[in-house]
Amino acid sequence: MSQRFIIPKFQLPALVARIGVHLPQWPHAMTLTAGLNAAARMKLLPLDSLALLEGRSFFVEVLDTGGRACFTYRAGMFRPLFSAPQTPDLSFRANLSAFMQLLARQEDPDTLFFNRELSIEGDTELGLIVKNMLDAVEWPQLPKLPVFSN
């Protein structure tokens, strides 16, 4: 782990978000829910935590790309929501670099939250369930691509 690939903290130029918000948003929600459903199918997400997400709405916004995704979990599947509810049950907002650092387990969500790089709004307990569910995932070993190799 000594020569890990490090994701730097960065912020994309404001122009990217200004254009991004005007692009169609449905591909983000489609991609995100497809990924989550794949993880659920691989049994990476614990069933007892998934059950607690039933019928709740989630909103993810990448601030510096202008990308937004809204989805729900219903009857065993993550499903895109094409019209976002007025107040989703849970919203995550951060710049792209923070989301990447989170997914790569390079930064701790509490650290990003304390440092105000990650904003979480809505049902706090639901947020904790999602955070703990993702923390408990044992991601399969990534293929040894040059960029990921140790």
Partner 1 sequence: MLRDKIPQLICPAGSLPALKAAVDNGADAVYFGYRNDTNARNFAGLNFDDKAMREGIRYAQSRHREVLLAINTFAQPGRDADWQHAVDGAAELGVDAVILADVGLLDYAAKRHPGLRLHLSVQGSATSYEAVNFAQREFGVRRAVLPRVLTLAQVENVIRNTTVEIEVFGFGSLCVMNEGRCWLSSYATGESPNTVGACSPAKYVKWEKSPGMMSTRLNGILIDRFGDNEPAGYPTLCKGRFDVNGATYYALEEPTSLNVLEILPEIARAGVAAIKVEGRQRSPTYVAQVTRNMRAALDALASEGERYQVKQAWQAELAKVSEGSQATLGAYSRPWR
Give me the residues that bind partner 1 (CB under 8 A), please. 46, 49, 52, 105-111, 113-116, 119-121, 124-125, 127-133, 135-138
Q: Which is nearer to partner 1, 20 or 109 (CB)?
A: 109
- State the nearest-atom distance from the C-beta of 45 to partner 1, in Å: 10
- State the nearest-atom distance from the C-beta of 67 to partner 1, in Å: 19
Q: Which is nearer to partner 1, 16 or 44 (CB)?
A: 44
The dihedral over CA atoms of 41, 47, 51, 56, expressed in degrees to the nearest 10, equals -50
DSSP letters along 76-135, please?
A: TEEEE-SS--SS-SEEEEE-HHHHHHHHTTSS-HHHHHHTTSEEEEE-HHHHHHHHHHHH
- State the nearest-atom distance from the C-beta of 95 to partner 1, in Å: 13
Question: How many whole angstroms separate alpha carbon 105 and alpha carbon 94?
Answer: 15
Q: Which is nearer to partner 1, 32 or 130 (CB)?
A: 130
In the structure encoding, which two tokens stand for residue 135, read together?
A: 């923390």
- State the nearest-atom distance from the C-beta of 133 to partner 1, in Å: 5
Q: Are the beta carbons of 29 and 81 closer than 8 angstroms?
A: yes
What is the amino acid identity at position 76? Answer: G
Q: Which is nearer to partner 1, 82 or 114 (CB)?
A: 114
